């Protein structure tokens, strides 16, 4: 007689896999819309151009939004001169922007204050600002900062942009009306 013996056992295996992941991308950008009027109020030229948001500008937004740190809610806009212009850099700050200088050929006592509307659909538009030009010069573009001092080097440089046509001439007596729109986008 033959006896068979065996061991019984259960076996199971579970394999859980996940592919992909959660990724969130955000982009901050902005655009300047500029209309130049002559001393009689007639439009001379109009242009809209995008800007480059600086690293310190993005850091200021992240710091205020996510850390809840104290921040300046007031932003100002000013003009960029063609003299010595070479380029903007994401590393530019108000105290260090070797590729450009500010144009202060306007009679406003300070850099004009930007007043933003309530954000909607990922954008916020600032009310139009008027620069009263008091010197004939060539403007390269504009920038946004949280310091109102003309030619000042303190504060945070949020962004800067250049006319798509390269540069625009203004004459004493002209006025530049500038509107800035900031936009949040996801790819």
Task: Classify residue 105: in a domain, yes or no.
Answer: yes
> How is residue 91 written in tokens?
């590393």
pTM of the model: 0.82
Pick the residue with more confidence: 17 or 178?
A: 178
On average, the pLDDT of the chain sits at: 85
Task: Classify residue 34: in a domain, yes or no.
Answer: yes
Mean pLDDT of 112-123: 90
Task: Classify residue 124: in a domain, yes or no.
Answer: yes
28 CB burial (10 A radius; 0-12, 13-18, 19+): middle
Domain count, the chain: 1
Q: Which of 61-75, 130-144, 150-164 has the lowest mean pLDDT?
A: 61-75
Question: In this predicted model, what pLDDT tens digit does every residue of 13-70 receive, in sequence order?
Answer: 444 444 555 566 667 789 999 999 999 999 999 999 998 888 888 888 877 777 776 6
pLDDT surpasses 70 at 181 = yes
Task: Classify residue 97: in a domain, yes or no.
Answer: yes
139 CB burial (10 A radius; 0-12, 13-18, 19+): buried
Task: Classify residue 1: in a domain, yes or no.
Answer: no
Task: Classify residue 22: in a domain, yes or no.
Answer: no
Rounded (10°) CA dihedral 142, 95, 59, 111? -40
Tell me the CA distances in angstroms from 52 to 74, 87, 91, 130, one per residue in order.
Answer: 19, 11, 11, 22
| Structural domain that includes position 60 | 27-185
Q: What is the pLDDT of residue 54?
A: 86
CA distance 33 to 184: 18
Helix, strand, coil percent values for the chain (each to nearest 5):
5, 40, 55
* Widest CA span in the chain: 121
CA distance 104 to 96: 18
Mean pLDDT of 69-89: 87
Q: What is the pLDDT of residue 12?
A: 37
Task: Classify residue 20: in a domain, yes or no.
Answer: no
Q: Which of 62-66, 150-154, 165-169 has the lowest mean pLDDT?
A: 62-66
Task: Classify residue 16: in a domain, yes or no.
Answer: no
> How is residue 68 written in tokens?
């809840």
């Amino acid at each position: 007689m033959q006896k068979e013996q065996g061991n019984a056992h259960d076996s199971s295996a579970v394999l859980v896999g996940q592919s992909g992941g959660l990724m969130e991308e955000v982009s901050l950008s902005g655009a300047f819309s500029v209309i130049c009027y002559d001393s009689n109020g007639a439009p001379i030229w109009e242009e809209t151009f995008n800007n480059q948001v600086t690293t310190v500008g993005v850091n200021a937004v992240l710091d205020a939004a996510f850390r809840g740190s104290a921040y300046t809610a007031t932003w100002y806009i000013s003009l960029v001169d063609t003299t010595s212009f070479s380029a903007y850099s994401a590393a530019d700050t108000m105290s260090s922007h070797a590729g450009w200088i500010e144009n202060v050929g306007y009679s406003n006592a300070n850099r004009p204050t930007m007043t933003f509307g309530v954000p909607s659909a990922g954008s916020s538009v600032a009310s139009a600002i008027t620069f009263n030009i008091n010197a004939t010069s060539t403007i390269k573009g504009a920038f946004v900062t949280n310091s109102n001092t003309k030619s000042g080097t303190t504060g945070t440089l949020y962004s800067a942009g250049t006319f798509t046509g390269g540069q625009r001439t203004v004459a004493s007596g002209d006025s530049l009306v500038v509107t800035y729109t900031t936009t949040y986008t996801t790819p």
